Amino acid sequence: MAVLPITLYGDKILKKKAIRISKVDAKILTLINDMFDTMHNADGMGLAANQVGSHKSIFIFDLSSVKGFEKSKPMVFINPKIVEYSEETRILEEGCLSLPGVRAKVERPTGVKLLYQDIDLKDHMLEDDDLFARVIQHEYDHLQATFFTDRLDDEGKKMVKKLLLRIIARKVEIEYPVTDKGTM
């Protein structure tokens, strides 16, 4: 079990699409455990594998620290694919451990249907229209090499640009381990 450095905006791996997993071996199980340690250490709700430097198609989340979701269990999603989006959308503020200090309101479909596999590579389908649906879309975006800031309109993008440049230059205060500039 280990806390890994989190990749930041500007790290190339965050702009590469994730690769499907065909076998869950000890290395992948260690990666998943380390992802939970890393996410909890940074007080995050969700984390994608490329945020700890892996190309694998995995994301995790744990919403038990969120009011109203205390009883929700930590979850692992392998080879996830969103197969359906609701027509209805909602605007909610988002943040991201790879974009420290950046917060912005993002419009997304309210609900999703997600096809994914568990650590035994058994297929599952999850349908949700709550906070889960929001976190799923945010983390799924990471595996498609997309940041929530990519979904902002021109004005929104302009507002976060300066801060993003400071993140690339590591000129921001961050309370958890992150990659060194230019290492990923």
**Does residue 96 touch Ni ion according to CB under 5 A?**
yes
CB of 142 to Ni ion, least distance (A): 6
Q: What are the phi and psi torsion angles at 154 (to 5°)?
A: -55, -40
Q: How far is CA 98 from CA 83, 102, 113, 119, 138, in A?
A: 26, 9, 25, 25, 12
> Is 84 a residue of the active site?
no
Nearer to Ni ion, 31 or 96 (CB): 96
Span interacting with Ni ion, options 64-72, 83-91, 96-104, 119-127, rule CB under 5 A: 96-104
* Residue among 76, 87, 85, 86 nearest 124 (CA): 76
CB of 138 to Ni ion, least distance (A): 6
Of the residues 139, 155, 173, 175, which is catalytic?
139
CB of 98 to Ni ion, least distance (A): 5
Span interacting with Ni ion, options 93-101, 122-130, 153-161, 169-177, rule CB under 5 A: 93-101
**Does residue 13 touch Ni ion according to CB under 5 A?**
no
Residue 6's DSSP bridge partners are 178
Residue 85's DSSP bridge partners are 112
* Residue among 22, 19, 84, 94 nearest 50 (CA): 19
Residues known to be catalytic:
139
Binding site for Ni ion (CB under 5 A): 96
